[in-house]
Amino acid sequence: MIEEEIKKEIKQLIEKVKKEVYTPEYQNKATNEETLGVIIAKYLGWDGHGIIEVTSSALEDSNFHTLNEQVLSLIGE
């Protein structure tokens, strides 16, 4: 299934980014979520609106509709 492929690929990318971005002392403390956030920020060129769009899509896909509405209301959408 595509979900398993996504998990495998992103896990490998997260491990690579942890080694490249964080100091050796912090690499084992950095969470996967924190590191994925760094990946998204870098991929989107630190565009806050794009980051919110990704967040919104993830919330909707996860059926967190009310939370997504709250997030979107913060940016006036």
Q: DSSP assignment, residue 22?
A: S
What pLDDT was estimated at residue 75?
81
Between these two residues, 77 and 4, which has the higher pLDDT value?
4
29-38 pLDDT per residue, tens: 999 999 999 9
49-70 pLDDT per residue, tens: 999 999 999 999 999 999 999 9
**Alpha helix ranges (H) inside the chain:** 2-21, 32-43, 48-61, 65-74
Using alpha carbons, select from 22, 10, 21, 12 the residue that is nearest to residue 58: 10
Q: Using CA atoms in the order 43, 21, 13, 45, what is the torsion angle rounded to 10 degrees?
A: 0
State the Cα–Cα distance between residues 6 and 66, nearest whole angstrom. 26
